[in-house]
A and B are shown apart, each in its own frame.
Chain A
Amino acid sequence: MGGDELAHQSAKEVASRSMRQIPIKEGLWTVPFSAEEKPRLIGSRCLRCGEVYFPSKAYGICVNCQSRDIENAALSRNGKIYSFTVVMQRPPEYYKGPVPYAEGIVELPEGVRLQTLFTDCNFDDLKVGMDVELVIEKLHEDEEGNEVIAYKFRPATRSKGGAD
């Protein structure tokens, strides 16, 4: 790599460091205060019927029992794949990430199923029942060059263990 290219490379790095990270939507996951802490998805739990929802219920109403006795709940970072697919064709609007992409439904121990993208995986290895864990990472870059970040799940790293 020549000197010019190196200079160009480092300029790009500086640019990427100064790039703002913007969540795809506020309030989907917790933002940790320290490096040891990890983000968790924010759901809702109904204190009357016990149903758990993701995303959290913005209007504070349980759609199962209509109770308003509902609170936010940080959800488990680990779950299992309930179902999945690999989309091979670019959607006509909105989605700007790579294609093909894997998306599906993950079941969390709290008893909620949620729709998610899958990352860090070989598409052929995805299976119903596979252990997966939460990650927050880039979804796409917006027009101003900001990095739009989103929650995704990836095959769980076994060694970490950890009861969460």
Chain B
Amino acid sequence: MAHLREVAIAGVGLTHFDVYDGDRGRLFKEGYELGMEAVLNALQDAGMEWGDIQAAFCGSVYQNTGSGHQALDQIGMTGIPIINVENACSSGASAFRLAYQSVATGLYDIALAFGYEKMPRGFIRSTAWPLWQRYMGFNVQPAAYAKESVRYAEETGATEEDFARVTVKNRKNGSLNPNARFQKEVTLEEVLSSRMIAKPMRLLHCCPLADGGAAAILCSKGKRKSKGKKVTVAASVLCSGVYGSLTGGSGTAISSVRIHNDLVELSANEAWEKSGCGPEDMDVVEAYDTMAPGELWDLEKLGLCKKGEAPGLLKTGALNIDGRIPVNTDGGLMSRGHPLGATALAQIIEIYKQLRGEAGARQVPGGPKVGLAHSMGAGPNSAVTILKR
């Protein structure tokens, strides 16, 4: 394999994640405006001009042809390549990986990864299922996670209260995040009495929809202009469908009885190998909580604890901001909301801010040095990013 150069994050930008439909006094914004806003924020944070950017990768799912072009043509038209990336909920991480690769291999010195989404209302619509399976009612995202939750409960003894505690913790963290869609805490009782969506998943186990944008500028050594602590990319891994893996919300992937593979484990192992880090080194983690219980088995599959241990860690506060393994310090998908193209980048940005000590009221104490962000996506995809300072 080619020698890879060190890649640092030069700057990041986010929009406020919200519903920009112009209804009931809410602001109206077009999707591409959210992309623009995130990119302009990242340029400012990086202390760079648009002319510094040599390539751009844009993640989105529902934004039609040329989502990246739509967002960038009001900023500057400099002839650089713009690549549009659709990889379901892991689109943002996939765009990040492409920007990382293009700098690591020496093709460019400065590359932009961004993502944005203006979400259609209601259940997240997925056409990843064959048409006849959609007629069978198989393509309901919360139902896929519900089935995985039932298995998880069967195998580990986890309870509905354990699932609800994920929402309670993440909404508490989200109350400290000015960019989150939901900044109000919820109680265990509120979660457990919320409307049933797909048994045993209730409304408050589901992440809310949101519109938003996120951007990160990556650069090679010596190109960084921003002040503050340097954060480098220790690993940026993407694994797609592997036979024998049952993964929530992932189209037609159904596990074999005889062959066991797990997509999350596969991507985590590759990330450990590439970064030279192990699970024990992680000071802060963004896990994939599109549905609350997903955070529990995610932590176990990533190797941050043993199977069945996550509910206990959650209950005893080990996953809190001041706990042993702080998880989803910005409130996760549960509080931010889920603009598909932006979500995975928002996770990476939270790790970056935590490592730089710029996370404000939700800052993990003790100066975290290494962190991990994990996103899943229909397809299926699993993306693991490890940042270090």
Q: Which residues of A contact B (CB under 8 A)?
A: 24-25, 50-51, 63-64, 82-89, 91-97, 101, 103-105, 107, 111-115, 117, 123, 128, 139-140, 148, 150
List 16 contacting pairs A-B, 8 Å CB cutoff, sorted by A.
A63-B243, A84-B150, A85-B147, A85-B201, A86-B196, A87-B197, A89-B140, A91-B140, A93-B134, A94-B134, A94-B139, A101-B137, A103-B143, A111-B256, A128-B154, A148-B135
Excluding A83-B150, A89-B197, A150-B136, 9 further A-B contacts by CB distance (< 8 Å) are A51-B256, A64-B256, A86-B196, A88-B195, A92-B122, A93-B125, A94-B135, A128-B150, A140-B135
| Known contacts A94-B134, A103-B138, A139-B135, A87 near B198 by CB under 8 Å | yes
Q: In the complex, what distance in Å separates the CA atom of A90 from the CA atom of B139?
A: 11
Contact A84 B147, beta carbon cutoff 8 Å? yes
Q: Is the interface of B mostly helix, strand, loop or mixed?
A: loop
Q: Are B257 and A113 in contact (CB under 8 A)?
A: yes
Tell me whether B368 is interfacial, beta carbon within 8 Å. Answer: no
Minimum distance in angstroms from A88 CB to a CB of chain B:
5
Q: Which residue from chain A places its CB closest to the CB of B243 in the assembled complex?
A: A64
Least CB distance, B236 to chain A, in whole angstroms: 27
Instruction: Name the A residues within 8 Å of B196 (CB-CB).
Output: 86, 88
B1 within 8 A of A: no
Q: Which residues of A contact B227 (CB under 8 A)?
A: none
Give CA–CA (A108, B257) in the complex, Å.
9
Q: How far is the CA of A101 from the CA of B138 in the complex (A)?
A: 11
Q: Which residues on the B side are within 8 Å of A93 (C-beta)?
A: 125, 134
Cβ of B123 under 8 Å from chain A: yes
Number of cross-chain contacts by CB at 8 Å: 106
Query: Closest residue to B196 on the A side, CB-wise?
Result: A88
Residues in A with CB closer than 8 Å to B256 are 51, 64, 111-113
0/1 interface trace, chain B 258-271, chain A, CB 8 Å (1 if under): 11000000000000
A95 to B131, CA, bound (A): 10
**A-B pairs, 9 with minimum CB distance:** A95-B137, A85-B146, A111-B257, A94-B134, A25-B132, A83-B147, A86-B199, A83-B150, A85-B198
Interface size class on chain B is 35 or more
In the bound complex, residues from chain B placing their C-beta under 8 Å from that of A82 are: 151
Q: Is the CB of B140 within 8 A of A51?
A: no
Q: Which residue of A lies closest to B137 (CB)?
A: A95
- CB of A84, distance to nearest CB on chain B (Å): 6
User: Is the C-beta of B254 less than 8 angstroms from some C-beta in chain A?
Assistant: yes
For A115, give its contact among B131, B133, B142, B244 (CB under 8 Å): B133
* Chain A residues whose CB sits within 8 angstroms of the CB of B252 once the complex forms: 115
Q: Are B133 and A112 in contact (CB under 8 A)?
A: no
Contact B136 A139 (CB under 8 A): yes
A115→B138 contact, CB < 8 A = yes
Verify if B148 is at the interface (C-beta below 8 Å from A). Answer: yes
Residues of B within 8 A of A64 (CB): 243-244, 256, 259
Given that A51-B258, A128-B154 are contacting pairs, would A24 and B147 also be in contact in the complex, using a CB cutoff of 8 Å? no
Known: A24-B132, A92-B123. A113 touches B255 (CB 8 A): yes
> In the complex, which of the residues A85, A107, A128 contacts B199, with contact meaning CB atoms closer than 8 Å?
A85
- For the complex, what is the distance from the CA of A85 to the CA of B196, rounded to whole Å? 11
